[in-house]
Amino acid sequence: MTVMAVSAADDSPGAMAVSTPTATQAVGADAIVRLQGVRKNYHGVTAVERVDLDIRRGEFFTMLGPSGSGKTTTLRMISGFERPSEGRIEVDGMDVTRVPPFQRDINTVFQDYALFPHMTVAKNLAYGLESKRLPRSETTQRVNEALRMVRLERFADNLPGQLSGGQRQRVALARAIINRPRVLLLDEPLGALDLKLRHEMQFELKHIQEQVKITFIYVTHDQEEALIMSDRIAVFNEGLIEQLGAADELYERPANEFVADFLGTSNLIDLDGARVMIRPERIHLLTDAQTLDAGVWRTQSAVVRERAFLGAFTRYLVALADGTQLLVFHQNRNDFAHSAARQPGDDVRIAWQHASVYHIPQ
């Protein structure tokens, strides 16, 4: 896939005409953000191609895709940092297509946190409220509420440099939420964290979103992250939305081969004259004596090509007699010794249920 080269050119925020939102025909009762025929070109290169999208009020919505797929450009158009080449953007029933970022009731959390290094955590949180000239008592109350929400009360007087990466991320999130925007945009905010901390923050983000009931629009290329947190996911590819739906729907019933291959790990093979998907966790390694009902199961002989122990499961690459290679994820429960006995070069039998074979739409 080609990564689009982005040039600010005449689409920079400074080039926008300042206007105020105008009421339009009301969007659906549960839609807070609506994109209609939104397109973005950079000097003849199309980054986003006529996207139509409704994002529901109060949902955790994720835009997922590889680099250059158009997801971040779409987020930037919602925020106002990019202006569409064509189409219309509405926020809570207002046309904001040509409205600059500071006039939209939207906040953004970036990967680099963008905290003021010389201000304490409490001062970072209070800055936006003080700019709005809120009464001091209300500012103090909101700051304390935000600190409790992200569990950083005892760090109120610390500088950002004295915090861990995860703590700084929580401060950035609290600062964005404290202004109570209608929509919060998150552009790969966990990308700089280590794996263990990322996993912790995924659950933290979802919990906070459920508490504040603000619409979160999240951009990531991490499939696991999207599956864990999202109410709905839009899978982007080359400027288009390939599929939109709940996590389990996309995982179990991908609309095409791109979605099947990108979301999770898949075996995409030709079987009985059809292109199908079989997830590696649905394929079982059989013991020598094990027999299965042929009406429910399909069994195959195979040879182990590769084996990798990954703690909770062992990943095998096996080859069938016709040369087809399959990934198999074998759960390590109480049969680790049996699993460890299967090494590259070993003959094995594998099986999957007929119901586990998904025929990919053509």
Q: Which residue has the tokens 């955790």?
A: 60
Domain boundary among 239, 259, 279: 259
Q: Are residues 225 and 323 in the same domain?
A: no
**Calpha distance 351→277 (Å, rounded):** 14
Identify the segments of the chain with pLDDT beneath 50.
1-27
Dihedral (Cα; 98, 100, 106, 112), 10-degree rounding: 130
Q: Are residues 90 and 37 in the same domain?
A: yes
Q: Are residues 347 and 208 in the same domain?
A: no
Q: What is the pLDDT of residue 25?
A: 39
pLDDT (tens digit per residue) in 266-304: 999 999 999 999 999 999 999 877 888 989 999 999 999
The total number of structural domains that make up the chain = 2
Q: What is the pLDDT of residue 196?
A: 85
CB 241 within 8 A of CB 38: no
Q: Average pLDDT over the chain, rounded to whole?
A: 87
Domain boundary among 230, 259, 288: 259
Q: Are residues 249 and 289 in the same domain?
A: no
**Calpha distance 90→75 (Å, rounded):** 13
Q: What is the pLDDT of residue 48?
A: 97
Task: Return the CATH number at 30.
Answer: 3.40.50.300
Q: What is the pLDDT of residue 340?
A: 58
**Calpha distance 67→236 (Å, rounded):** 10
Within a domain: 133: no
CB 361 within 8 A of CB 255: yes
Q: What is the DSSP letter of 214?
A: P
14, 71, 82, 188, 215 from 8: Cα distances, Å = 10, 17, 9, 21, 28
Q: What is the pLDDT of residue 305?
A: 97
Number of Cβ atoms within 10 Å of the Cβ of 166: 17
Q: What is the pLDDT of residue 20?
A: 40
39, 60, 71, 352 from 74: Cα distances, Å = 9, 16, 5, 40
Within a domain: 152: no
Residue-by-residue DSSP string for 277-308: EE-GGG-EEEPTT----TTTEEEEEEEEEEEE
CB 203 within 8 A of CB 166: no
Q: What is the pLDDT of residue 198?
A: 85
**Calpha distance 175→115 (Å, rounded):** 9
Q: What is the pLDDT of residue 78?
A: 97
Q: What is the pLDDT of residue 311?
A: 85
Q: Tell me which residue range forms the domain holding 196.
A: 9-105+181-259
